[in-house]
């Protein structure tokens, strides 16, 4: 590796910031709680405190949630000794040692990035769970668009399961609610056969088809098409049976748009 390439790599590593790891929750009574955000469910934030204790905080008592930066002293600081050793070796042209030291720094950086990605996914999931509880269709749709890409595969699958469970409940208790429709639309667009447990997928596909037929009765062909396609994705065994329905609905939608 040339000295110029090594110099550029070293400069980049030294300039990279530390990553945030913990959150600060400010309650309505002014009390501040700091810890790892584990999730948000049933209107409560779940945190792991510095001593390892778990604490749940009711949403009604929360004034603000902030991702801390820089991090508290629970997170290991960057090992500047490794970088200093790499720089010193580089300056005396000992490139073998410099490469060894810079590789150690890169491994540390990769660990930081992995921790940051995990934290971002947990925060995004907690935020979406909060929107699920609020049942505001426009806020949920926009929030999903903004943060869904940041979810890791494991967190994404877990959240899909929660979305599906909530949709099944709402379809039973509030089938004509706007949020129920928005949640079903989001699931139909995003979910696939690997998104959730098998039994959930079958139940979800049944609901999609039933709701699609109701949308056709209301001449909402675009909504019906989304639901039929969603049913085919979450339950591949239905694909052949739904091909005709999907084609008919697409043609009906095209005719409606042309009128």
Looking at residue 5, its pLDDT comes to: 45
The whole-number average pLDDT for the span 108-132 is 74
Whether the predicted pLDDT of 228 surpasses 90: yes
Whether the predicted pLDDT of 80 surpasses 60: no
The whole-number average pLDDT for the span 208-229 is 93
User: Distance between CA 109 and CA 254 in Å, rounded?
Assistant: 52
Whether the predicted pLDDT of 36 surpasses 60: yes
The CB density around residue 201, as the number of other CB atoms within 10 Å, is 23
pLDDT digits (tens, 9 = 90+) for 39-72: 666 667 788 887 778 888 887 787 776 766 444 4
Looking at residue 135, its pLDDT comes to: 92
Whether the predicted pLDDT of 83 surpasses 50: yes
Contacts of 2 (CB under 8 A, 6+ apart): none
This prediction's pTM: 0.57
137 phi and psi angles, rounded to 5 deg:
-60, -40
The whole-number average pLDDT for the span 253-258 is 89
Whether the predicted pLDDT of 14 surpasses 50: no
Whether the predicted pLDDT of 122 surpasses 80: no
Q: State the Cα torsion 5-11-12-17 to the nearest 10°.
A: 170
Q: What rounded mean pLDDT belongs to the chain?
A: 79
Looking at residue 114, its pLDDT comes to: 67
Q: Where are the beta strands (DSSP E) in the chain?
A: 23-27, 32-41, 44-48, 54-58, 62-67
Contacts of 162 (CB under 8 A, 6+ apart): 41, 129, 132
Stronger pLDDT, 126 or 18, i.e. the higher one: 126
What CATH code is assigned to 3-118? 2.30.30.100
The whole-number average pLDDT for the span 14-35 is 69
Q: Which of 6-15, 126-135, 150-159 comes out lowest in average pLDDT?
A: 6-15
Cβ distance 180 to 170 under 8 Å?
yes
Residue 161, token pair as written in the block: 């399961």
Task: Please state the domain extents for the chain.
Answer: 3-118, 135-258
Stronger pLDDT, 70 or 227, i.e. the higher one: 227
Q: Which of 196-200, 202-206, 224-228 comes out lowest in average pLDDT?
A: 196-200
User: Distance between CA 218 and CA 212 in Å, rounded?
Assistant: 10
Q: Which of 62-71, 99-108, 176-185, 214-223 comes out lowest in average pLDDT?
A: 62-71
């Amino acid at each position: 590796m040339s000295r110029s390439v090594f110099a550029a790599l070293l400069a980049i590593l030294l300039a990279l910031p530390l990553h945030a790891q913990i959150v600060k929750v400010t309650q309505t009574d002014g009390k501040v709680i700091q810890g790892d955000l584990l999730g948000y469910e049933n209107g409560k934030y779940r945190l792991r405190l510095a001593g390892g204790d778990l604490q749940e905080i009711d949403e009604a008592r929360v004034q603000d949630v902030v991702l801390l930066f820089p991090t508290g002293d629970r997170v290991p600081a960057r090992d500047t000794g490794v970088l200093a050793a790499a720089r010193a070796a580089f300056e005396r042209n000992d490139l073998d040692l410099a490469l060894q030291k810079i590789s150690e720094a890169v491994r540390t950086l990769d660990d930081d990035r992995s921790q940051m990605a995990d934290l971002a996914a947990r925060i995004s999931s907690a935020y979406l769970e909060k929107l699920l509880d609020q049942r505001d269709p426009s806020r949920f749709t926009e929030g999903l668009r903004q943060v869904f890409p940041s979810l890791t595969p494991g967190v994404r699958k877990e959240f899909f399961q929660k979305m599906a469970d909530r949709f099944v409940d709402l379809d039973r208790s509030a089938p004509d609610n706007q949020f129920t429709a928005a949640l079903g639309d989001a699931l139909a667009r995003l979910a696939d056969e690997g998104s959730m447990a098998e039994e959930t997928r079958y139940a979800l596909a049944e609901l999609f088809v039933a709701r699609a037929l109701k949308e056709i009765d209301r001449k909402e062909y675009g909504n019906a098409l989304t639901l039929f396609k969603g049913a085919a994705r979450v339950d591949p065994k239905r694909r052949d049976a739904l091909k005709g329905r999907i084609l008919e609905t697409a043609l009906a939608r095209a005719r409606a748009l042309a009128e």
